[in-house]
Structure 1
């Protein structure tokens, strides 16, 4: 690879605004964040939305409004989370695609998620896969554990390649209940990827952020950063803006002779329709 796809995940569904006041939870905050992160080197934004009380929401109107606003303000690839929060029903998660994003997340298995259970039964995964094919939305396959790689192969075997013909996966490491955020665990997962996979990225939750980022860049992968996954920039130094994490990832990628990938190139790279 000669360039690095940088995805920013600015909000997530876990952090509370009261505990992380710089978390972008209002739409104007999300747009400001997206604009700054695009300028810093991000090509894709992974979106979770919050309601007026800063609680996670999959409200269809809010999703559609956010997609339209992000497209008007930036040229970023807009990826909506179909995970929502661990409490969202499966039917609501399928309706995320009604907002017509460029991309969506597709988590490849159920797992313990801290004290909760993140439900992703195979029937739901299969329905989401086919719906994304029909809607011409490119999925990003989220792998929280090594067993999820087998589920990904099963989906491809059953339904063929996703829309766009590319298979991009993202290792989410460091969730309590999933694979640890260590170089060894990440590289074990990369070694297990099926031949249909055309690219991969990774993120490390919390303290695993930098080790996973460095390993990913060295091993030819791509980067996901953002306050969804990491709210501490360095010991004793909270993240004040998502762009700080994008700037650092872009700097490290450039030092590794793999500068940030432009959005136009990223669309072609992932098999996404032109914006």
Structure 2
């Protein structure tokens, strides 16, 4: 299963309507956003759910309901669930949700999944592979990449369908993302002799420049209000679909 070429991440775990009034929180709002973003050029949705109070939610039943609903509401759009802890969930719960929500695509930060036990993390990755669940490994720095190479069973590491996402600038002051932050990850893939299915995400006003640079060297892209609310010129985007359209104009039509 390949990564979508342009995935939208419309809300994330912590932002609220105080950050942007068109940030989708309910499943109905997420569905409406997914439709608009699909029409604007996105072929994938990075799914975060919220509870009744708007808090970040990792729940197998809620995911099962949402996945069934979205399969009907936005047919043909790939849906990837998050396992983000957001300070609320432990690795065991994250792994359980990934394995039992019925999702075919899951994003998982190595730093979180392996936080309690690297051996358990390795078994989790193997279990996902056995169940046909595509895990996109979230890597924040080359050190994460090197650690993944140690933990991941070698057959999975060298697989052509290994999915990665490089997060540019998450832990820099002001979450300032610049295209040069991609270079260490590209160098790591070369040295490690890997050819994975990879993507990036970036933050703030630098998001567009980073996505453009990644596209130029064969990377796939994730865009949306989870990471940035503004266009390259600093204007606040009207909604997620406007950000998707801006990036789709750079990547061109799907081939």
- The two structures, once aligned, show a CA RMSD in angstroms of 2.5
Match of 1:216 in 2: 214
Among candidates 137, 149, 164, match of residue 169 of structure 1:
164
Match of 2:19 in 1: 19
Q: How many residues align?
A: 246
| Cα distance, 1:17 vs structure 2 | 2.9
CA contact (8 A) 2:208 2:232 kept: no
- Detail structure 1 runs of 4+ shifted over 3 Å in the superposition: 118-121, 177-180
Which aligned pairs between 1:138-217 and structure 2 lie closer than 5 A?
Answer: 138-156=134-152, 158=153, 160-161=155-156, 166-176=161-171, 181-193=177-189, 194-217=192-215
| Cα distance, 1:39 vs structure 2 | 1.7
| Cα distance, 1:24 vs structure 2 | 0.7
- Secondary structure, aligned partner of 1:233: coil
TM superposition score normalised by structure 1? 0.81
**Where do 5+ consecutive residues of structure 1 fail to align?**
111-117, 262-275
Match of 2:121 in 1: 125
Q: Deviations over 1:217-255 (max 9, x none)?
A: 11121111011111123556322321111111110011x
Relative contact order, higher structure (CA 8 A, sep 6+): 1
TM superposition score normalised by structure 2? 0.86
CA contact (8 A) 2:208 2:231 kept: no
Among candidates 98, 108, 111, match of residue 110 of structure 2:
108
CA contact (8 A) 2:223 2:244 kept: yes
State the distance in 2 between where 1:121 and 1:43 align. 34
